[in-house]
């Protein structure tokens, strides 16, 4: 199962966030040896593989990719519109560049210009055979997006991590800052401390840039691209499992209502006669928890840190003690409130009292019915009750369960 845990504070993977499929999910149809000069250990392998699979880039007739080769502006125009799904678009010829009439990429250049991705120079030339610089490439990336506004001081703050940031020309400073802020910049191994804005970009570098752009354009496309780029809705994962009632969901997210009973298993025996307050345990989801439509909310095998919150020893002849179990407080990476599962021992429907005079932790107490067993076996299922509404991201077809 995909690792859903992030340290002990997030042992119950409440935020099952699954972004776009990672680069490593893509393999070349012809196998890893499709490009003899691009082994899996190469820093551009994953990005080139992704773009090859999407038919954005191709190798040369000899079968090589040549990741260190420079790229012309005409070639880059073609690469960008393919990556954004614009290659088949019919657009009006609004740009009368003087130097592209007989160029093989004339139509591709016009498409890229129509969508505001690339521009010519003040003299009316596009310069299709000039090589693309890293700064020009980053500017094109930003033209496909709608990033937040940034002034020059903010831009300098972001690019000042590079030793050569003073080499960025004024026209490209804000674009460089925005690109750095959005994580669009890729620095080849050994060049992590330099931006090299005026150096010609290579085919490998541009593959990394373009992949980053495609991901960002799914979230923040430019006004010109909004009608063309429709964010892909992930296919939600379905499975058989324990159906949770009163689950409300909107597209990718689900909310499990407060008071929902969630049966979990515990990893060790807890006996009210001997257990100590504060003693820890691990609870697990024994099966998939799903909506009525069988969308997976919590997958089988998720681990949850817990502890004995309160215990009272049973008397010798009258088992009138109790135990209250609670999971660790959890704060997810979106800043949601603390979330607690609690469980009582000895009752099917616990009589719950919340003690509010404790400023640090809301305690929940369950009285144990007389005469019932005062222990939980290892592996036994215990009904935990959700004390607060729980918002989770539903699993998608890209997640493993």
Quick one: pLDDT band at residue 321, thresholds 50, 70, 90?
A: low
- What pLDDT was estimated at residue 319? 53
CATH number at residue 351: 2.40.128
* Same domain for 198 and 85: yes
The average pLDDT across 96-107 equals 92
- What pLDDT was estimated at residue 353? 31
Instruction: Write out the residue range of the structural domain in which residue 91 sits.
Output: 21-217
Distances (CA, A) of 150 to 157, 176, 178: 11, 11, 7
- What pLDDT was estimated at residue 330? 37
- What pLDDT was estimated at residue 203? 95
Considering the domain boundaries, does residue 9 fall inside one?
Answer: no
* Same domain for 269 and 180: no
Compute, in degrees rounded to 10, the torsion defined by CA atoms 56, 61, 62, 67: -30
Q: Which one of 13-27, 193-207, 269-283 scores highest in mean pLDDT?
A: 193-207
Using a cut of 0.75, tell me whether the model's pTM lies above it.
no
* Same domain for 87 and 168: yes
Distances (CA, A) of 171 to 44, 110, 339: 28, 23, 49
Quick one: pLDDT band at residue 360, thresholds 50, 70, 90?
A: very low
Domain end residue (candidates: 217, 234, 254): 217
Q: Which residue has the higher pLDDT, 337 or 99?
A: 99
The average pLDDT across 96-119 equals 93
Determine which of 93-97, 203-207, 226-230, 275-279 has the lowest per-residue pLDDT on average. 226-230
* Same domain for 267 and 157: no
- What pLDDT was estimated at residue 9? 19
Q: Is the pLDDT assigned to residue 11 strictly greater than 80?
A: no
Q: Which residues are CB-neighbours of 102 under 8 A, at least 6 positions away?
A: none
Considering the domain boundaries, does residue 328 fall inside one?
Answer: yes
- What pLDDT was estimated at residue 234? 66
Q: Is the pLDDT assigned to residue 96 strictly greater than 90?
A: no
* Same domain for 263 and 388: yes
Number of domains in the chain: 2
Q: Which residue has the higher pLDDT, 1 or 320?
A: 320
Among residues of the chain, what percentage have pLDDT more than 70? 74
Considering the domain boundaries, does residue 233 fall inside one?
Answer: no
Half-sphere exposure of 107 (CA within 13 A, CB side): 8
Considering the domain boundaries, does residue 369 fall inside one?
Answer: yes
* Same domain for 378 and 251: yes
* Same domain for 135 and 95: yes
Q: Is the pLDDT assigned to residue 15 strictly greater than 50?
A: no
Considering the domain boundaries, does residue 7 fall inside one?
Answer: no
For the chain, the C-alpha Rg in angstroms (whole number) is: 29
The average pLDDT across 386-401 equals 69
Query: In whole numbers, what is the pLDDT of the chain averaged over residues?
Result: 75
* Same domain for 262 and 116: no
Quick one: pLDDT band at residue 399, thresholds 50, 70, 90?
A: low
Q: Is the pLDDT assigned to residue 79 strictly greater than 90?
A: yes
Considering the domain boundaries, does residue 228 fall inside one?
Answer: no
Q: Is the pLDDT assigned to residue 363 strictly greater than 60?
A: no
Structure tokens at 161: 């991590």
* Same domain for 200 and 122: yes
pLDDT per residue as tens digits for the range 193-242: 999 999 999 999 999 999 989 888 888 899 889 888 766 666 788 888 89
Taking the C-alpha atoms of residue 143 and residue 114, their distance in angstroms, rounded to an integer, is 12
Q: Is the pLDDT assigned to residue 111 strictly greater than 50?
A: yes
* Same domain for 202 and 147: yes
Q: Which one of 28-32, 301-305, 346-350, 396-400 scores highest in mean pLDDT?
A: 301-305
Domain end residue (candidates: 201, 217, 233): 217
Considering the domain boundaries, does residue 16 fall inside one?
Answer: no
* Same domain for 337 and 191: no
Considering the domain boundaries, does residue 11 fall inside one?
Answer: no
Taking the C-alpha atoms of residue 187 and residue 194, their distance in angstroms, rounded to an integer, is 8
* Same domain for 213 and 275: no
If we measure between CA atoms, which residue out of 283, 302, 273 comes closest to residue 343? 283
């Amino acid at each position: 199962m995909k690792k859903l845990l992030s340290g002990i504070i997030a042992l119950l993977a409440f935020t099952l966030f699954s972004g776009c499929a990672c680069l490593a999910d893509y393999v070349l149809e012809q196998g890893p040896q499709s490009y003899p000069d691009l082994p899996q250990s190469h820093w551009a392998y994953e990005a080139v593989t992704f773009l090859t699979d999407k038919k954005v880039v191709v190798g040369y007739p000899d079968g090589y990719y040549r990741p260190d080769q420079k790229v012309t502006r005409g070639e880059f125009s073609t690469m960008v519109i393919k990556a954004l799904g614009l290659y088949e678009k019919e657009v009006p010829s609004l740009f009368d560049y003087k130097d592209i009439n007989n160029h093989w990429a004339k139509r591709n250049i016009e498409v890229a210009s129509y969508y505001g991705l690339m521009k010519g120079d003040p003299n009316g030339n596009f310069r299709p055979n000039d090589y693309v610089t890293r700064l020009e490439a980053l500017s094109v990336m930003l033209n496909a997006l709608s990033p937040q506004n940034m002034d020059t001081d903010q831009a300098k703050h972001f690019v000042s991590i590079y030793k050569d940031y003073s080499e960025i020309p004024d026209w490209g400073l804000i674009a460089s800052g925005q690109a750095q802020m959005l994580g669009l910049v890729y620095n080849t191994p050994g060049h992590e401390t330099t931006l090299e804005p005026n150096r010609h970009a290579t085919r490998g570098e541009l593959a990394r840039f373009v992949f980053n752009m495609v991901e960002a354009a799914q979230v923040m496309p430019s006004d010109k691209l909004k009608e063309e780029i429709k964010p892909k809705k992930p296919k939600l994962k379905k499975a058989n499992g324990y159906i949770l009632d009163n689950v409300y969901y909107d597209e990718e997210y689900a909310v499990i209502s407060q008071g929902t009973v969630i049966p979990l298993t515990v990893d060790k025996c807890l006996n009210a006669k001997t257990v100590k307050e504060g003693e820890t345990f691990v609870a697990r989801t024994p099966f998939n928890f799903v909506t009525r439509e069988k969308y997976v909310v919590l997958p089988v095998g998720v681990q949850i840190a817990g502890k004995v919150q309160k215990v009272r020893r049973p008397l010798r002849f009258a088992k009138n003690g109790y135990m209250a179990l609670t999971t660790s407080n959890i704060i997810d990476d979106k800043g949601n409130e603390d979330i607690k599962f609690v469980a009582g021992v000895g009752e099917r429907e616990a009589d719950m009292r919340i003690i509010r005079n404790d400023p640090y932790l809301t305690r929940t107490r369950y009285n144990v019915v007389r005469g019932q067993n005062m222990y939980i076996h290892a592996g036994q299922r215990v009904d935990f009750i959700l004390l607060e509404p729980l918002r989770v991201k539903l699993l998608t077809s890209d997640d493993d369960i």
